[in-house]
Structures are given as structure tokens and as C-alpha cells.
Amino acid sequence: MFEPKIIAFYCKWCTSAGADLAGTSRLQYAPNIVGIRVMCSSRVDPEHILNAFKEGADGVLIGGCHPGDCHYKSGNYVTLRRITLLKTMMEDLGISADRLRLDWISAAEGKRFAEVVTEFTEQIREKGPLKKESLKEEAV
Amino acid sequence: MKKIGVFLCHCGINISATVDIEKAMEALKDYPGVAHIEDYKYMCSDPGQQLIKKKIKDLGLDGVVVCACSPTLHENTFRLTVKAAGMNEYKMEMANIREQCSWVHKDKTVATEKAIKIIKSVIEKARLDEALDPIEVDITRKAMVIGAGVAGIQTALNIANSGYEVILVEREPSIGGKMAQLSETFPTLDCSQCILTPKMVEVSNHPKIKLMTYSEVVDVSGFVGNFKVKVKRKATGLDWDVCNGCGLCTEKCPKKLPSEFDQGLGERKAIYRPFPQAVPNRVVIDFENCTYMQSGKCGICQKVCPVKAIDFDKEDKFVEEEVGAIICATGFETYSVKDIPEFGGGKLPDVVDGLTFERILSASGPTGGEVRRPSDGKVPKDIVFLECVCSRDPEHYLPYCSKVCCMYTVKHAMLYKHRVHDGQPYVFYMDMRTGGKGYEEFYQRAAEEDKVVFIRGKVSKLYQDDDKIVVCGVDTLSNETIEIRADMVVLATAIVPSKGIRELTKLLKIQIDQHGFLSEAHPKLRPVESLTAGVYLAGCAQSPRDIPDTVSQASGAASMVCTLFANEKLKHEPIIVGVNEDICSGCGICTVVCPYDARKTNLEKKLVEVNEVLCEGCGACAAACPSGAAQQNNYTDNQINAMIKAILGKGG
Amino acid sequence: MEISYYPGCTLKTKAINFETSALALLEKLDVKAIELKDWNCCGVMFSQSQDNLMKQLAPIRTLIRAKESGRDRLLTLCSMCYNTLKRSALFIQENEDKRDKINDFMDLEETEYFGNEIEVVNILTLLDEIDKDKLKASIVKDAKDLKVATYYGCLLTRPKEVAIDNVEDPQIMENLLEAAGCKPVYFPFKTECCASFQVVSRKDIARERTRKIVDSARKNGAEMILLACPLCEYNLDKLQKELHEEDSTFETLPVLYVTQLLAILAGVDPEINDYSKHYIDPRPVLERKGLL
């Protein structure tokens, strides 16, 4: 079975805390994801995401606070705008836009965190590996 | 190359049961940058910390990666450890292989592989970490307490008695909260008002406490030590500085309304004082129900006021306050009987909730302390108390235990019996939870001396039949269904957070749990702090609790505030985003995304300048900068890209 | 509006007057209920057995027929049919593997059913959706504040996943009848179980239930009990008669399907109701109100 490689960026305040709660609640989820903890989802530069795809990731997940709940007031709105824009460009680069997922997961949503991770992993598994040939490297 | 020490924690067997520590060490020992690797059963324990310190000194390490639990838990612990060994604390990184690895995967091979990836990525980050120094900031030594129930009152008094100024904000016209409504308190049966009102008066007379009742927090900005809070002072329709609280207006006002303080059983006027012992002793006009405000006719209160305080001014006023710490003590409400259709949905007058029964029992209540039922004023001879109404019922209502209902129901049954000697109280319970000093004895007394009948089981339905309330329940000990024809029923409805808490937590940037209660920074070790520095919690806003617990926690929160205020300067996290002046072109794109106005374009120098104190370190600007001039300290593009590579097996 | 209609066994026999009155009422309200072709037994009672999927075949096959009709909603009159069909649909929606197994087993069917294509609608829900002003406009007879007890029984409100309204205090029937000029009375036993199939083996239980339910309705001033379930109708109606025969002081209350009363009020010929199927004759009460 194809085991996708997925990189995740979690904001420190909500999604990473939600992931910790999934841990303290002992919820099991797909192990394909490895997270990078940043202070806010808005720290994630679209270049980081493209870089991850270039280096071999099959999917990228960004987790931030729910709209209105951002620890930094408006960081998640900035993220939403960036990701929306990036998704429109990804197709041109030969990466299907649904390999990138942005989700709001709060510190209280350990269960949801586990569900999102498992669901996204399955979705990427179904899509199969991101093929090098379809990725226009020079564009990245 | 940097010399990094990697320290793997077993966390007892929390980590080592699913992550093969030996295998991980084997895979990591030759990873570039790793100068030393070692494991220990409990890295956070004193020997564990000593081990790290020793290796830093002996091997001259200039970077440490602790592979253990979530940084939320022990980042601070290990920062202090490395600092004590002379290393800059920002060169210590934690790899979370517990919450985000060993606890969420069962397969040892898979979990070990993932742990190795996580650790490699964190090593990459550590390799590029720079030494940082915390930024020093001044502190405003003044606290704001939101909510003036017993929790808020206690916190305010403790802080004020330590010599610091306190602003106590309360939504209602008077302080006192729910405790002011209670009759007697368990397990000593001393009168709630008798123990609370002296504290209320102390608050109002305290030179260090500024009282803002009938006020709400509408905006909060800033950070620990330096908050700016905007408070709305709701219009009262009169000048409180002139009013002397004589109460003539409330006597003469012709408009009668149900009193909120008496849970709708008693009456108040359209101009009113919530209860006689209100602090401050002032009245407010209920604009929505005032005849003068609605039709322009009446104005009797204005005519009779001896000091001419009434001006019918409807304009809310806003004030800004600067404080260094905020305590959120917004209290609770009880689940509304209206929302419980199987118990009559609020349509049966003789089915009341616990707070309403407190008013019925209270000497200052609508019946003067005589137990009379609301429908016809008769003294109920058979009375049924239901516990766990909407609590401990995940299928239909709320999963949690409301904690205080067992004890206050025992108290209700006991006080009822003390007033109605020939009456019979019945209590339906699921489990009697009487943990607390003197609590179990109190319960035994109710059963033995006051002959309260305790029935273990739940009630499925209540209905009116003639002038009786029929209680259909089950006794799970004898396995029989029970029907009691009662004169009155009291529901111990669940404790829920007070309305508006969601909006307030958004302003304060603190977290709430799935039921809307405030989340503490750590359930055991940091129970009175929120995850936002400088914001503390007290009372039932955090979870259901009784008066002794509330008061001790309130004092705990106050002591945390005093600890904060005892610092000369505050340290601000240096994980800020600076400007590389050689690269910056002054385009100003970063200034647009900054939520704190920390970045300003200097048009003359064609540069962006950063106010380090204002920068909270979200990093939004770093991602926006087109040239790479804005880099977040220890979260640089190079570090993040190196972490990505490491996770995808291309590191080193 | 057009809607697929699933009658079920009772509606063609014992409860035929439920069907005739409901269809006539719907016609007055411009709803065309089109009976499914080739329908079979609903399965009678949702099977609690998680593994014996055989018991899910009957309801699922019915839903396949509904899917093939091309309409996305399926009307049921009988509350048992409603409960079984709706829960079976939910069951396969939530258990994908079982859904696949069932579809594999029925591979001769040309259509597969996945669980959410058809919305099973009870007659009360359908009537509730109709604008109350429209309903009022269709009422031509004055009910003269006829005091009614609205009885839901268990199947319409339990389990809560398929409840047509609030589980503990449903209001749909009250709202309909109020709009039609009746006066619903306080009736705490409206969601109490009628004892259902116990009537076969433990008639004593069923009788006690009937006594309790009818007593409560009468005590609160009801002149009539209205309901929407053939089995409840049978129990409350037949057992009342038996109770009265045994003890003449037991006062009976006529029991009607809610559609029977609404149809009369909407001007349908009262004879459509076939009163011979009732054990307690409702005609004296209807006559008193001038509704016949």
C-alpha cells in the first residue's frame, strides 16, 4: 500500500494544542503526518509549501485557529487568503490543489484533529504519489 | 559545525512503550550536528536535568534537543536547565515525541520511524538557532478583575491588600454574584449574606479598589504587564455621583416587573436596586420597561428624587484602563428549566431550579424564608429534589458532573425539614458525591436526623395532576419504578458558563473547552493561569465548584498576580521578526499584515522599522516579505526549509 | 407538489381509513402522493441485530423502489414504517461495509442504495411543512374549539435520531390542530408508549397503559384523542372498549387519526372515514360539534 508523506504546519496556540489533546486523549490517527510547529499559521510562507512538494511531500496540511479565535488577532485570515491564492496557482504548477489542505482546529478539538489527519491521509493515499514529472520544477 | 546534544526521555513507559528508544538513538547518533546522544527514564526529573547540565559543561555543547513531551508542558523547564549550565536558553529545542507520536500510534515500528523524523527536523532547527536575549518590558502594577461574585471579590481583596491597585468590573448593577442569592451554605449552614456582605462592603471601602459595576469589557489589547482595556459603563439613567441610594424613587415607581435577583418570584420596579444590600448602594433604570423612556409620560422618579440625580441619560460611556494583569471570574448560570421538556419545560410553576429554591429559603427572599410553593403559596408537604438534572447525561445533555448539586440538594432537603417539620423531603440521586471537609457527615446528618429519603435512581418525567406534580422515577437499588405525588419539585440543574463568556474569551485571547468553561494552562500544575500570559482564572467560569474551592482558587489567582507584579521588569519573548537593513527596500508589505502596528515604514530611509516591544512574534510579516529581509528569530526560512527536508528524509 | 408514497400493510387493511383520509386531505392541500410500484413489507420494527443483515433487506428494497421512482422524498403514514425505513437508511449510511454487503446480496436489483438519497417523511412532518395560512384557508368547517389530546406514542419521537420533533415535548400535531380551530389540551402522556406488541402476549400491560393514557386525556378535558399510528390506534381504541365492557364506570374517549379530523374540517365527505373500523364510535362527538 502506498504510504504518503505529509508535512503539516500547526500553529502553536490552537492546532498544535489540539494535536496534544489528541495525544492526551490517546486518539489514534494515521502516522504519515509529521508536524512543524510555528507560532501562527500566518508564518507559513507559500514558498515553504511549494518547497515541501518539491522535496517529496505528497500532501501538506496547515492547521490554524478558527476564524475570530486567532491568538494574533488576524493571522489566520492572512493564511486563508494566501492559501486560497496558492491553490489557484498550484494547478498551473502541476500539483493538484487538493494536495494542500487548510483547516481550523482549536485546542479543544483533539478528536477533530485526529479525524482531519486520518481523512487527509486517506485522501492523499487515494490520489497516489505526487509524480516528479508532473511537477514543473523550474516554476518552483 | 554546532555541537548538539540530543536527550531522549522514556517518560516512564509513556514514550518507550511505543518508540524504540535504542533504535532511535542508533539512527540519530551520526546525524550531522549531533555531538552527543543519551536517554533517561525521566528527563524532566532532577537527575535528568543534572545530566543535561553536566553534558553541556563537559562537552561544550551549544545546542540541545530534548525529545520528550509537548513543549507546552516542559519547554520552560528545560530552558531553565540549559540556562543554568551557561547555555543560551533559546538554543534548547523540544521534539514532541509523546503527545504527537507515542500516544497516538500503537505500532512500534511506525511510531519509532515517525519519532526519528520529528527529532531530525528539530535537530535541523537547533543547528540554526541563534542565542537570543529576552526583551525587557515595564509592568503596569494594576490588575483588572472581571466579574464580582465571590471569586472576583476575593481576588480583588487579596491583590488590593498586597498593596496593588485593582479595578473590579461587574456586568450587573451590584457586586455579589450568585452567592448573594443563596440562603445558607453547606456544610456549616451559615447564612450566605452574613459571610458575603462584609466582604462586599470591604471592597467598596477599599482605597486600592476601583469598582465599575453595570460595566462590560468591550476591547482588550496589549500583552502581559501592559494591557489596555476598554470598558463600557452602561447608562443607568441617573448620575451615580449625585445619587445617595435613598431608594425613594424605587418606592414611588409605578411599574412592577419580576425581580431577577428573586428568580422571578418577587417584584422589582422599573427603577431598581437589585437587592437591599447592593454594593454600590445605587439604583438603575431599566430602559426597556421604564414608562417614561418608552412613552415620555411618567417621570415620577425624577420628581421625587431629593438630590435630583435622575437625568434619563441613555448614553453609554466608555473608559480606557491600563492594567498589567487580568483575572477572569465571570461565574456561572444554571441550565434553564425551560430547556428540559420532560420536566415540564418551565410550564409547571411548582417545578423550580435550585437557585429559585435558594430564594424561597432565604430570609430576605420573596416568602421571607417560609417554604411556600410558587403556584398558590401553599406549604409543600411532599417535596422531591432531583439531582444531576442535565449533568452526567452525555446522551441528552451535558456529560460532566456539576459538582455542587449533591451537597446543595442535601442542604435544601435539610433546610426544608427545619422549616416544615411535618413535611417529607425525597432526593433522587445517581451517586452521592460528598468529598470535602465535613461534607459526608453533613449528608449522614440529613439522612439520619432529618429523615430525608434518598432514592438512588433517575426521574424520567414530571407532570401536573390536579394540584400535584407526579414524579415518575426508578429506584435502581430495589429495581422498582416509583411514582411520588409531590407538592413541589426542585431540580438541581447543571452548572453552565455564564452568557457572553465566548465573546470575552475572544477579547482576552484565552481558550475555552468544549462546554464553554475557561481552559487552564495546565490542569494540575497551572490551574489558575490561562495559556495567555497575564490572564488568570478564578471561580466557576473555569468549571463547577463550591464556595470553599472558589475562594481558595481566587486567592491562588491573586497570588499569581502578585508574583507577576513583584518582578522589576517583564521579559518579552525574543522570537520577534526583525529587519535586515541591507536587504529591506522599505516596500511596506509587512506593515500591512502586522496585527500590532509593530512595523512602520520609514520613507526617508526607505526601510521598515520594528518596535520590538509591540511585536508578538506571529511571523505573518516574515511570510509576506518578498525579499527575505524580515526573518523571525529562530524560525527563519532556512530553518523551516531544513526541517521540511529532514522530515522528507533529505536532511543532513 | 408531488411525493412518493409508501403505504405499508396496515394502511391497506385495518387502517384503510387513515389512508383514505390522508390522501383526501393532501389533495385538498395540493399535494399529490404517488404510491410506489411494487412495494413490500417495511420490515416491521427496525432490527436491533447488527449482524443479521437479512432483516435490513425489506426496508432497503423499499428505498430502492423509492429511488427508482425518481422523486427524492418518500411519504409514510404508518409511524412504524417511518421508524423502520428511516433507521435502516441511517444504519447503512453509518456502516459502509454493511451497506456494501447488502447491495452485493441484492445484485439482481438494478439500483444500488447508499443511505441518503431518499428522505423518508412522516405525514405529520409533511403537513407541518405546509404554510399554516394555506392550511387555515383550506379549513371550511368550524371545529368550535374541539378539545383534543394529541398522542404521539413512541415511534415518532424515538430514538432521537429519527424524531420528527422534540423528543420529550413534540408540538407538530398541536400546531396543526390549533391552526384548524381545535384546542389541544395539556397532555403529559403524549409520548408514553401504548405497550405496542405487548397487546399480543401481555394484554394486562397494554390495558393499564391505555387506562393511564385515556384517564390523563379525559382529566385534562379532552373530548377526543388524535394520533398518527395504526398500532396505537388499535391499542387505545380496542382496549378502551374492553375496559369499558369490564367496568362500566370507565369513560371512553373516541380515537381518530389526525388526518381523519383534518379531512373533515377541510370539507372532505365525512363518510370517507369509515367509522365501522372504530371500536369507540367517534360520531357522537363529531355530531355534537356539527362536523358530520
Q: What is the pLDDT of residues B558-602, one digit of tens each?
A: 999 999 999 999 988 899 999 999 999 999 999 999 988 899 999
Q: Pick from A20, A34, A39: which is nearest to B118 by CB?
A: A34
Looking at residues A7-22, what average pLDDT do you find? Answer: 95
**Separation in Å, CA of B117 to nearest CA in chain A:** 7
The verdict on a CB contact (< 8 Å) between C188 and B345 is no
Q: Does B464 touch chain C (CB under 8 A)?
A: yes
Q: Is residue B505 in a domain?
A: yes
Chain A hits for B18, Cβ within 8 Å? none
In chain C, where are the structural domains located?
2-124, 138-288
Counting as contact any 3 or more CB pairs under 8 A, the partners of A are B
The verdict on a CB contact (< 8 Å) between A19 and B624 is no
β pairing state of B332-334 and B495-497: antiparallel
Query: Is the domain of B92 the same as that of B50?
Result: yes
Q: Per residue in A101-124, pLDDT tens? A: 999 999 989 999 999 999 999 999
- At the topology level, CATH places domain C138-288 in Rossmann fold (3.40.50)
Give the span between the Cα atoms of B101 and B489, in whole angstroms. 51
> Please, how many CA atoms are within 13 Å of residue B30, restricted to the half-sphere of its CB?
3
Is there a contact between B62 and B91 (Cβ–Cβ < 8 Å)?
yes
Instruction: Tell me the pLDDT of chain A averaged across its residues.
Output: 91
Query: Is the domain of B557 the same as that of B607?
Result: no
Chains B and A share 3 or more Cβ pairs within 8 Å? yes
Query: Is the domain of B198 the same as that of B297?
Result: yes
Give the span between the Cα atoms of C219 and B464, in whole angstroms. 11
Sign of CA dihedral B103, B104, B108, B110: negative
Is there a contact between B406 and B400 (Cβ–Cβ < 8 Å)?
no
- Measured in degrees and rounded to the nearest 5, phi and psi for residue B486 equal -105, 160
Residue B540 pLDDT > 60, yes or no?
A: yes
- What confidence category does residue A134 fall into, taking pLDDT thresholds of 50, 70 and 90? low
Chain C hits for B464, Cβ within 8 Å? 186, 188
Residue A140 pLDDT > 50, yes or no?
A: no
**Separation in Å, CA of B458 to nearest CA in chain C:** 16
Q: Pick from B96, B512, B619: which is nearest to A39 by CB?
A: B619
The verdict on a CB contact (< 8 Å) between B640 and A39 is no
Helices (H), B133-260: 150-161, 192-205, 248-252
Q: Per residue in B422-464, pLDDT tens? A: 999 999 999 999 999 999 999 999 999 999 999 999 999 999 9
* CATH code (residue B620): 3.30.70.20
Chain A hits for B516, Cβ within 8 Å? none
Counting as contact any 3 or more CB pairs under 8 A, the partners of B are A, C
The verdict on a CB contact (< 8 Å) between A37 and B111 is no
Question: What local confidence, expressed as pLDDT, does residue A138 receive?
Answer: 46
The verdict on a CB contact (< 8 Å) between B463 and C188 is yes
C-alpha cell at B108: 512500534
Q: Is residue B648 in a domain?
A: no
Residues 329-388 of B with CB under 8 A from C: 340-342, 345
In degrees, rounded to 5, the angle at the alpha carbon of residue C181 between the alpha carbons of residues C177 and C186 is 55
Query: Is the domain of B167 the same as that of B290?
Result: yes
The last residue of one of the domains, among B447, B465, B496, is B496
Residue C33: strand, helix, or coil: strand
Chain A hits for B103, Cβ within 8 Å? 23-24, 26
Q: Per residue in B121-132, pLDDT tens? A: 999 999 999 999
Q: Per residue in B301-327, pLDDT tens? A: 999 999 999 999 999 999 999 999 999
Give the span between the Cα atoms of B181 and B547, in whole angstroms. 13
Q: Does B461 touch chain C (CB under 8 A)?
A: yes
Q: Pick from B341, B396, B470: which is nearest to C169 by CB?
A: B341
- What confidence category does residue A135 fall into, taking pLDDT thresholds of 50, 70 and 90? low
Q: Which residue of A has its CA nearest to B96?
A: A20
Query: Is the domain of B522 the same as that of B476?
Result: no
Give the span between the Cα atoms of B402 and B399, in whole angstroms. 9
Question: What local confidence, expressed as pLDDT, does residue A132 receive?
Answer: 63
In sequence order, what are the beta bridge partners of B145? B168, B327
Looking at residues C187-204, what average pLDDT do you find? Answer: 93
The last residue of one of the domains, among B508, B539, B565, is B565
Which of B460, B463, B468 to probe by mutation at the C interface, max C CB count within 10 Å? B463
DSSP symbol at C128? H
Give the span between the Cα atoms of C251 and C285, in whole angstroms. 14
C-alpha cell at B118: 520529528
Chain C hits for B465, Cβ within 8 Å? 188, 216, 219
List all residues 6 or more positions away from B623 whose beta carbon is below 8 Å from its beta carbon.
A42, A43, A44, A45, A46, A48, A78, A82
Query: Is the domain of B181 the same as that of B193?
Result: yes
The verdict on a CB contact (< 8 Å) between B618 and A75 is yes
The last residue of one of the domains, among B496, B518, B540, is B496
Q: Is residue B645 in a domain?
A: no
Query: Is the domain of B429 the same as that of B516?
Result: no
Looking at residues B63-67, what average pLDDT do you find? Answer: 97
Residue A139 pLDDT > 60, yes or no?
A: no
Query: Is the domain of B322 the same as that of B395?
Result: no
> Please, how many CA atoms are within 13 Å of residue A35, restricted to the half-sphere of its CB?
31
Q: Please give the helix or strand (H or E) that residue C286 lies within, else none.
A: helix C283-288
Give the span between the Cα atoms of B627 and A52, in whole angstroms. 20
Give the span between the Cα atoms of A7 and B651, in whole angstroms. 14
The residue type found at B106 is K
Range(s) of the domain holding residue B193: 142-331+497-565
Looking at residues B412-421, what average pLDDT do you find? Answer: 97
Chain B hits for C189, Cβ within 8 Å? 463
Chain C hits for B342, Cβ within 8 Å? 168-169
Give the span between the Cα atoms of B272 and B538, in whole angstroms. 29
- Cell 422549616 identifies what position? B419
Q: Pick from C168, C186, C189: which is nearest to B341 by CB?
A: C168
The residue type found at A25 is S
Chain B hits for A83, Cβ within 8 Å? none
The verdict on a CB contact (< 8 Å) between C166 and B341 is yes
Q: Per residue in B549-566, pLDDT tens? A: 999 999 999 999 999 999
SS3 sequence of B59-117? HCCCEEEEEECCHHHHHHHHHHHHHHCCCCHHHEEEEECHHHHHCCCCCHHHHHHHHHH
Q: Does C186 touch chain B (CB under 8 A)?
A: yes
The verdict on a CB contact (< 8 Å) between B464 and C186 is yes
**Separation in Å, CA of B113 to nearest CA in chain A:** 9
Residue B268: strand, helix, or coil: strand
Q: Please give the model's pTM, rounded to 2 decimal places.
A: 0.80
The verdict on a CB contact (< 8 Å) between B464 and C188 is yes
Query: Is the domain of B184 the same as that of B215?
Result: yes
Query: Is the domain of B482 the same as that of B371?
Result: yes
The verdict on a CB contact (< 8 Å) between B465 and C219 is yes
Q: What is the dihedral of CA B336, B338, B341, B346, to 10 degrees?
A: 120
Which of A34, A51, A118 to probe by mutation at the B interface, max B CB count within 10 Å? A34
User: How many domains does the structure of chain B reveal?
Assistant: 4
CATH number for the domain running over C2-124: 1.20.1050.140
The residue type found at B272 is Y
Is there a contact between B278 and B196 (Cβ–Cβ < 8 Å)?
no
Query: Is the domain of B355 the same as that of B306?
Result: no
Q: Pick from C167, C169, C216: which is nearest to B345 by CB?
A: C169
Give the span between the Cα atoms of B179 and B195, in whole angstroms. 10
**Separation in Å, CA of B171 to nearest CA in chain A:** 23
Q: Is residue B643 in a domain?
A: no
Q: Per residue in B253-283, pLDDT tens? A: 999 999 999 999 999 999 999 999 999 999 9
Query: Is the domain of B321 the same as that of B342?
Result: no
* CATH code (residue B437): 3.50.50.60
- Measured in degrees and rounded to the nearest 5, phi and psi for residue B150 equal -65, -30
Chain B hits for A58, Cβ within 8 Å? none
